[in-house]
Amino acid sequence: MLSLDEALDQRKGSRLVFTNGVFDLIHAGHVRLLNHAKSLGDLLFVGLNSDLSVRGLGKGPHRPIHTETERAEVLSSFRSVDGVIVFDEPTPIALIERLRPEVHVKGGDYRVEDLPESSVVHRYGGQVVIVPLVTGRSSTKLAQEYGLE
């Protein structure tokens, strides 16, 4: 895991790509999103919703299934991920305002115009990219299928 200060130091001089999410039950959709995101720049930082933040998102009474520390460890093990930053807020807006990534990536279950962070990214000249979903794959669906919800 990176602190915001460590991320800012590491970011210098690089084309930064940023994505965020819960990443509770990793599946092929996550892997494809992370690999695609990494292809858009030099560094890929992942903003990870903290356990507290996940509980506030209404994902279900048993979420997150894995702790933020475990989720960060799994994400950090991917070659495509250069750093993981845990945040407590419901959205990554504060992180984005500080990091100012050139590209912000989200999965196809979102639309650019509906993302609260889009206006921040566009304000400083960044780009928001939506990566298509892998049909039938979602952490929520997996949790339901395996009786974890």
Predicted local confidence at residue 60, as pLDDT: 75
128-144 pLDDT, tens per residue?
999 987 666 665 666 56
Strand order in the sheet with 127-131: 83-87, 43-49, 16-21, 103-107, 127-131
28-78 pLDDT, tens per residue?
889 999 999 999 999 999 999 999 999 998 877 888 989 999 999 999 999
69-102 pLDDT, tens per residue?
999 999 999 999 999 999 999 999 999 999 999 9
CA distance 23 to 70: 10
CB within 8 Å of 27: residues ≥ 6 apart: 134, 137, 138, 139, 142
Statement: residue 149 has pLDDT above 90: no
Predicted local confidence at residue 141, as pLDDT: 66
Query: Which domains are present in the chain?
Result: 4-145 (3.40.50.620)
CA distance 12 to 18: 14
Predicted local confidence at residue 109, as pLDDT: 83
Q: Look up tokens 């039938």; give the residue.
A: 136
pTM of the model: 0.91
Q: CA nearest 117: which of 108, 128, 125? A: 128
